[in-house]
């Protein structure tokens, strides 16, 4: 596929003011009539009307009612010659939703019609200038069979509905806001709605609806509550109000991603809507809250102000992820403060931040170190769907967070206000956003900061300190460098906010005073690292301090700091910053695990076990924090930290560490379990969730160690559980053990939930992610292969694919990378089978091998032919070709 470059952006010679769409919906032959009033763009030299169309049968095309003067077709691009200042173009197309297995454009799911248009799905519905910089007013008429599709929804307001001959009916929707085509949506299906009316801050009454299949109405309450919370939060935090009279969420079981922010008609993967205590874990509840909020927040950051082109994707995604992270932190803090006061609130915020950092390290750092590394604003792509990445989203959010840190809460809010005042109703660039931030903050020079938008790769910050006892001063040297990434050899220094504290030997933070300052200030302050190397001299100290750097994970960098075991243990015990306390535990655990994996240590160091014990036994600490601090670093992250990554050796080391920590500390883990009796009634609350997380972790360690009391407890809790959070926690512990009880529990779980698609995803994922604690058990691959034939599994359903194949390829490297190469051959088979149905999902699966060059030479030799096989396969999609081609470059 050709490479598309950011530098080649040009506005179109013609844009569209209004669109009138008529859909005659039919499963195999939907006819779409599209009347567009096209206007010449005064800023652009003469040129044709450009429309894109894909997988369409064109039935008719007229310009002002006549055949076009000229028509040129080049692949999916259609160029129509037109004169004058405005013309009406009418296109009639036929599409086959049933045959559309890509889940992009108009498709069928369980008998209903649904759309997904971001990024370029609208062109699979009709011919259109399908680019985000073309914003038009949409009027949509839907016509369908009343029995099959009693509910007809589109964006905006319902202005008319009625009966039609032949048991059909229609509905007409008008969206008052101009929008790009990627925000168009329709739903025609058999659904019911949970409704709520709320009054916005300016006193308007709005109708909120959550639409689901009939049997799921009892699982919508949490999504609705989350929506109301999000609406209030955006009013209070950013002064942003819902601009529509009606806001709808629709749940669909077949969906490529999490959810979609179509104007007024958000379409969601069922996974991020449906929850009730018997089927959803605490994590499910948390995810629903954050995804509902994320999509709602897009109404301003994405819809009212949208992206000029897809290279600017982080403009809406990075910013909206940052907003949803702040929202979740506020929600968690608010709930925690009710029971545990300000300390509880602070801890809840920290736990949320740790979660975000875990995701960044597990998903984005490896991406930044691989062949797909790209800046948060990429310079080129072959297939835009491959660029909905952890870099654009999660690192993008970190970049916004750094702006927030540098400008302060008020400065950031002022920048947001100015951004909306300048750009409401426009399609803009990341530069426009940062310029508004600068202008609202006394013109602060943010040009150097823009490098974060342009440079790929995770920066390294090397820190070292020198203590001068004679003067009571501590000189901290910081040096930054970013390793080369594909196509970007040279990197310039970035603006890196480094939040720092200095801890005295008594474990207490010292007030900080830099040389030249008259008095000491706060105990945490943000240093600005802007050069390749800088030094900072702190004075007035009574003793040599221990530095705590990058507090709150103040920048998305890798900190290189020489700390011996004792110092890590000290920070594990005393760092006042919970993120850094967690990070100290992670660093220590990483060191222990990697030494075992490399064979340079034979046993788990007793000092580590003791440091770990102190955290485990410190009942003053928030259980949610302890659960975070006592969980080992993610396997994907650790693999990237190995020189020649050996998944089998890493797996062996992780097992050893888990067995040791589970065995040596068994009494303490059992103490945790005794102290956290399962709740009689489930409630989604951070306090309860934290206690459950710690109890479930205790079960995991004890089960890993084969502790009989722990295994019995897991079994008992599994059987007695009144909610999914506990049932799943206990089941996960049993599955990750050598106990035969795991099979009994898996069968019981299946019997109970055989008809529940979302819960079965958990059942698939648990089996695909299983480590082999019992060497006599067959390789996990055999199990995964068997599950492909399970009646509940389908390659056509992305949730099933992500649960079974995604978990195996991404979350189970120890089993996936079997030395005989069977996993790699299986990967190629599955990627090719998926590619024939759904290239977007296939490409996501293909990405699970992109960092293959970090693996051992033997594994590379096994993987290369499989990559080549996929790339050479007949009908390899551009999506998969980009991923695999770059991996092989
Ligand atoms: N903005 C949405 C992106 C999305 C998407 C992109 C490509 C293909 C399918 C998709 N479904 C949703 C989701 C979001 O970030 O909110
Ligand atoms: Zn988004």
The per-residue pLDDT for range 609-660, each reduced to its tens digit, is 999 999 999 999 999 999 999 999 999 999 999 999 999 999 999 999 999 9
Q: Which atom of ligand 1 is nearest to the CA of 256?
A: 9
Whether residues 40 and 95 share a domain: the answer is: yes
324 Cβ below 6 A of ligand 1: no
Last residue of a domain, one of 170, 190, 210: 190
Average of per-residue pLDDT across 179-197: 99
Which residue's CA is the nearest one to ligand 1's atom 13? Answer: 260
Residues 185 and 142 in one domain: yes
Candidate from 259, 260, 877 with most ligand 1 atoms within 8 A of CB, to mutate: 260
Please report whether residue 397 resides in a domain.
yes
Report pTM.
Answer: 0.99
Residue 635 Cα to ligand 1 midpoint, Å, equals 27
Q: What CATH number does the domain containing 490 carry?
A: 2.60.40.1840
Tell me, yes or no, whether 537 lies in a domain. yes
882 Cβ below 6 A of ligand 1: no
Does residue 430 sit in the same domain as residue 473?
no
- Extract the tokens encoding 723: 């909610």
For residue 77, the cross-strand partners are 52, 74
Measured in Å, residue 611 CA sits from the centre of ligand 1 at 43
Average pLDDT over residues 299-303: 98
For the beta carbon of residue 518, count every other beta carbon within 10 angstroms: 5
Report the chain's mean pLDDT, rounded to a whole number. Answer: 98
Helix (H, G, I), strand (E, B) or coil at 65: coil
Ligand 2 geometric centre to CA of 268 (Å): 12
Is the CB of 116 within 6 Å of ligand 1?
yes
User: Closest residue (by CA) to atom 15 of ligand 1?
Assistant: 317
Q: Please give the backbone phi and psi of residue 307, each rounded to the nearest 5 degrees, phi first.
A: -95, 140
* Binding site membership of 261 for ligand 1 (Cβ less than 6 Å): yes
What's the mean pLDDT in 720-739?
98
Q: Is the pLDDT of residue 65 over 90?
A: yes
127 and 3 part of one domain: yes
Residue 139 belongs to domain spanning:
1-190
**829 and 876 belong to one structural domain:** yes
Is the CB–ligand 1 distance for residue 118 below 6 Å? yes
Atom of ligand 1 at shortest distance to CA of 294? 16
Residue to probe by mutation, ligand 1, list 100, 107, 118, most atoms within 8 Å of CB? 118
Distance 102 CA to ligand 2 centre (A): 20
- Ligand nearest to the CA of residue 104, numbered in listed order: 1
CA-384 nearest atom, ligand 1: 7
Please tell me the distance from the alpha carbon of residue 373 to that of residue 230, in angstroms, as a whole number. Answer: 33
For 419, the enclosing helix (H) or strand (E) is: helix 396-423
Distances (CA, A) of 868 to 6, 43, 451, 491, 836: 29, 46, 35, 32, 17
316 C-alpha to ligand 2 centroid (Å): 7
The answer to whether residue 608 is domain-embedded is: no
Question: How much of the chain exceeds pLDDT 90, in percent?
Answer: 99
> Is 649 part of a structural domain of the chain?
no
Closest residue to atom 3 of ligand 1, CA basis? 260
Rounded Cα distance, 170 and 144, in Å: 7
* pLDDT tens digits, 494-521: 999 999 999 999 999 999 999 999 999 9
Per-residue model confidence as pLDDT tens digits over 397-431: 999 999 999 999 999 999 999 999 999 999 999 99
Secondary structure of 687-740 as H, E, C letters:
HHHHHHHHHHHHHHHHHHCCCHHHHHHHHHHHHHCCCHHHHHHHHHHHHCCCCC
Last residue of a domain, one of 401, 423, 454: 454
Do 807 and 887 lie in a common domain? yes
Ligand 1 pocket residue status of 257, Cβ below 6 Å = yes
Ligand 1 pocket test, pick from 388, 393, 840, 877 with the greatest ligand atom count within 8 Å of Cβ, gives 388
For position 634, what pLDDT does the model report?
94
pLDDT band of residue 677 (cuts 50, 70, 90) is confident
Indicate whether 361 belongs to any domain: yes
Distance CA 273, CA 226 (A): 10
The pLDDT of residue 44 is above 90: yes
For ligand 2, the distance from its centroid to the CA atom of residue 320, given in whole angstroms, is 6
From the CB of 317, is ligand 1 less than 6 Å away? Answer: yes
Q: Which two tokens stand for residue 606?
A: 């007793």
User: Is 716 within 8 Å of 731 (Cβ atoms)?
Assistant: no
By three-state DSSP, how is residue 264 classified?
Answer: coil
- Is the pLDDT score of 678 beyond 90? no
Helix, strand or coil, per DSSP, at residue 89: strand
- Banded model confidence at residue 665, pLDDT cuts 50, 70, 90: very high
The CATH number linked to 75 is: 2.60.40.1730
Q: Domain holding 384: CATH number? A: 1.10.390.10
The 8 Å CB, 24+ separation contacts for 86-89 are 86/17, 86/37, 86/38, 86/39, 86/40, 87/37, 87/38, 87/49, 87/63, 88/35, 88/36, 88/37, 88/38, 88/63, 88/64, 89/35, 89/36, 89/38, 89/49, 89/51, 89/61, 89/62, 89/63
**Does 674 participate in catalysis according to the annotation?**
no
Sheet architecture: strand order including 192-199:
192-199, 205-212, 246-252, 265-269, 259-260
User: In angstroms, rounded to a whole number, what is the distance separating the alpha carbons of residues 476 and 495?
Assistant: 17
Please tell me the residue having the least CA distance from ligand 1 atom 12.
Answer: 260
- Inform me whether the pLDDT recorded for 679 exceeds 90: no
Nearest residue (CA) to ligand 1, atom 5: 118
Q: Do the interacting molecules here have an ipTM over 0.95?
A: yes
Q: Across-strand partners of 645? A: 855
Q: Is residue 628 part of a domain?
A: no
Decide whether any atom of ligand 1 lies within 6 Å of the 321 Cβ: no
Judge if the beta carbon of residue 835 lies within 6 A of ligand 1: no
Ligand 2 centroid – CA 701 distance (Å):
36
Q: Which residue from 477, 476, 473, 475 is spatially nearest to 539, judged by alpha carbons?
A: 473
Q: Which residues of 213-228 are buried (b: 16+ CB within 10 A; e: fewer)?
A: beebbebbebbbebbe
Count the Cβ atoms, other than its own, within 10 Å of residue 643: 9
Indicate if ligand 1 lies below 6 Å from the C-beta of 357: no
Instruction: State which of 143, 171, 190 marks the end of a domain.
Output: 190
Percent with pLDDT over 70 in the chain: 100
Quick check: CB of 256 below 6 Å from ligand 1?
yes
Residue 254 lies in a domain: no
Could you tell me the distance, in angstroms and rounded to a whole number, from the CA of residue 266 to the centre of ligand 2? 11
Ligand 1, atom 2, lies closest to the CA of 260
For residues 368 and 467, state if they share a domain.
no
- The answer as to whether 116 is a domain residue is yes
β pairing state of 49-52 and 77-81? antiparallel
Catalytic residue among 286, 295, 367, 435: 295
Pair 162, 37 in one domain:
yes
To test the pocket of ligand 1, the residue of 106, 114, 257 to mutate (highest count of ligand atoms within 8 Å of its CB) is 257
Compute the average pLDDT of residues 751-771: 98
If you count them, how many residues does the chain have? 889
Is 21 found in the same domain as 140? yes
Strand partners, 260: 267
Q: How far is the CA of 118 from the centre of ligand 1 (A)?
A: 6
Name residues whose C-beta falls within 8 Å of residue 29's C-beta, 6 or more positions apart in sequence.
Answer: 94, 95, 96
Any ligand 1 atom below 6 A from CB of 550: no
Q: Are residues 446 and 468 in the same domain?
A: no
Q: Is 260 in the pocket of ligand 1 (CB under 6 A)?
A: yes
Cβ atoms of 843 and 880 within 8 Å: the answer is yes
Q: List residues bridging with 33 in a β-sheet.
A: 22, 92
In angstroms, what CA-CA distances link 174 with 106, 159, 168? 19, 7, 21
Q: 119 in ligand 1 pocket by Cβ < 6 Å?
A: yes
Residue range 356-382, pLDDT digits in tens: 999 999 999 999 999 999 999 999 999
CA of 386 to the centre of ligand 2 (A): 15
Which residues lie near ion ligand 2 (Cβ < 5 Å)?
A: 317, 320
Q: Is 385 in the pocket of ligand 1 (CB under 6 A)?
A: yes
Are 448 and 474 members of one domain? no
Domain count of the fold of the chain: 4
Residues 441, 534 share a domain: no
């Amino acid at each position: 596929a050709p490479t598309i470059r950011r530098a080649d952006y040009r506005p179109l010679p013609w844009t569209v003011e209004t669109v009138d769409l008529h859909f005659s919906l039919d499963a195999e032959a939907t006819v779409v009539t599209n009347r567009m009033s096209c206007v010449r763009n005064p800023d652009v030299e003469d040129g044709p009307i450009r429309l894109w169309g894909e997988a369409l049968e064109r039935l008719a095309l007229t310009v002002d009612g006549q055949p076009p003067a000229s028509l040129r077709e080049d692949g999916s691009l259609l160029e129509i010659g037109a004169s004058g200042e405005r013309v009406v173009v009418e296109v009639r197309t036929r599409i086959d939703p049933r045959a559309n297995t890509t889940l992009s454009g108009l498709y069928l799911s369980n008998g209903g019609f649904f759309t997904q248009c971001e990024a370029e799905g609208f062109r699979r519905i009709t011919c259109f200038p399908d680019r985000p910089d073309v914003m038009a007013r949409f009027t949509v008429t839907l016509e369908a069979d009343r029995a099959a599709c009693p509910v007809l929804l589109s964006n905006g307001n319902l202005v008319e509905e009625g009966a039609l001959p032949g048991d059909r009916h229609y509905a007409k929707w008008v969206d008052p806001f101009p929008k790009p085509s990627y925000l168009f949506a329709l739903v025609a299906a058999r659904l019911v709605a949970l409704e709520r009316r709320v009054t916005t801050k300016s006193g308007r009454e709005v109708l909120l609806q959550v639409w689901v299949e009939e049997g799921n109405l009892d699982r919508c309450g949490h999504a609705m509550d989350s929506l109301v919370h999000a609406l209030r939060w955006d009013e209070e935090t950013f002064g942003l109000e819902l601009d529509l009279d009606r806001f709808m969420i629709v749940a669909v079981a077949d969906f490529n991603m999490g959810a979609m922010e179509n104007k007024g008609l958000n379409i969601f993967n069922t996974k991020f809507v449906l929850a009730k205590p018997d089927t959803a874990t605490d994590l499910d509840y948390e995810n629903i809250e954050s995804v509902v909020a994320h999509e709602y927040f897009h109404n301003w950051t994405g819809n009212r102000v949208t992206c000029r082109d897809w290279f600017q994707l982080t403009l809406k995604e990075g910013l909206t992820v940052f907003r949803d992270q702040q929202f979740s932190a506020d929600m968690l803090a608010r709930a925690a403060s009710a029971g545990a006061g300000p300390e509880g609130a602070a801890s809840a915020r920290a736990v949320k931040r740790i979660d975000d950092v875990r995701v960044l390290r597990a998903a984005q750092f490896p991406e930044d170190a691989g062949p797909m590394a790209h800046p948060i604003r990429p310079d080129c792509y072959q297939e835009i769907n491959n660029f909905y990445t952890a870099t654009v989203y999660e690192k993008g959010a970190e970049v916004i967070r750094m702006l927030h840190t540098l400008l302060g809460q008020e400065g950031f809010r002022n920048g947001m206000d100015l951004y909306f005042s300048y750009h409401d109703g426009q399609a803009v660039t990341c530069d426009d956003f940062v310029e508004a931030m600068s202008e609202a903050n006394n013109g602060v020079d943010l040009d150097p900061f823009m490098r974060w938008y342009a440079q790929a790769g995770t920066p390294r910050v090397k820190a070292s300190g020198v203590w001068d006892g004679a003067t009571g001063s501590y000189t901290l040297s910081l040096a930054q460098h970013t390793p080369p990434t594909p196509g970007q050899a040279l990197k310039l220094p970035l603006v890196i906010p480094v939040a720092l504290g200095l801890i005295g030997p008594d474990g207490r933070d010292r007030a900080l005073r830099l040389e030249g300052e008259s008095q000491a200030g706060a105990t945490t302050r943000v240093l600005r690292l802007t050069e390749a190397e800088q030094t900072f001299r702190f004075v007035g100290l009574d003793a040599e301090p221990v530095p705590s750097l990058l507090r709150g994970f103040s920048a998305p960098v890798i900190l290189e700091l020489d700390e011996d075991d004792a110092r890590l243990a000290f920070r594990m015990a005393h760092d006042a910053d919970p993120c850094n306390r967690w990070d100290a535990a992670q660093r220590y655990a990483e060191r222990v695990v990697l030494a075992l994996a490399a064979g340079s240590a034979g046993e788990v160091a007793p000092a580590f076990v003791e440091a770990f014990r102190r955290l485990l036994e410190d009942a003053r600490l928030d259980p949610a924090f302890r659960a975070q601090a006592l969980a080992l670093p993610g396997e994907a992250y650790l693999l990237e930290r190995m020189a020649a990554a050996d998944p089998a050796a890493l797996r062996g080391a992780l097992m050893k560490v888990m067995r040791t920590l589970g065995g040596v500390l068994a009494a303490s883990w059992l103490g945790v379990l005794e102290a956290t009796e399962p709740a009689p009634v489930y409630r989604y609350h951070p306090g309860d969730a934290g206690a459950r997380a710690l109890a479930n972790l205790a079960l995991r360690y004890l089960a890993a160690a084969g502790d009989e009391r722990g295994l019995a407890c897991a079994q008992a809790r599994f059987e007695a559980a009144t909610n999914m959070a506990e049932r799943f926690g206990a089941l996960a512990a049993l599955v990750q053990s050598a106990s035969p009880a795991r099979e009994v529990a898996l069968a019981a779980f299946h019997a109970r939930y055989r008809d529940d698609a979302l819960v079965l995803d958990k059942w698939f994922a648990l089996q695909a992610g299983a480590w082999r604690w019992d060497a006599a058990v067959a390789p996990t691959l055999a199990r995964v292969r068997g599950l492909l034939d399970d009646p509940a599994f389908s390659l056509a359903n992305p949730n099933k694919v992500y649960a079974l194949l995604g978990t195996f390829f991404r979350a189970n490297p120890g089993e996936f990378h079997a030395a005989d190469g069977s996993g790699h051959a299986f990967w190629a088979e599955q990627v090719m089978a998926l590619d024939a149905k759904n290239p977007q999902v296939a490409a996501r699966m293909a990405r699970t091998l992109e960092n293959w060059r970090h693996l051992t030479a033997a594994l590379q030799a096994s993987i290369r032919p499989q990559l080549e096989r996929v790339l050479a396969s007949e009908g390899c999609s551009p999506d998969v070709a980009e991923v695999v081609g770059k991996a092989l470059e």
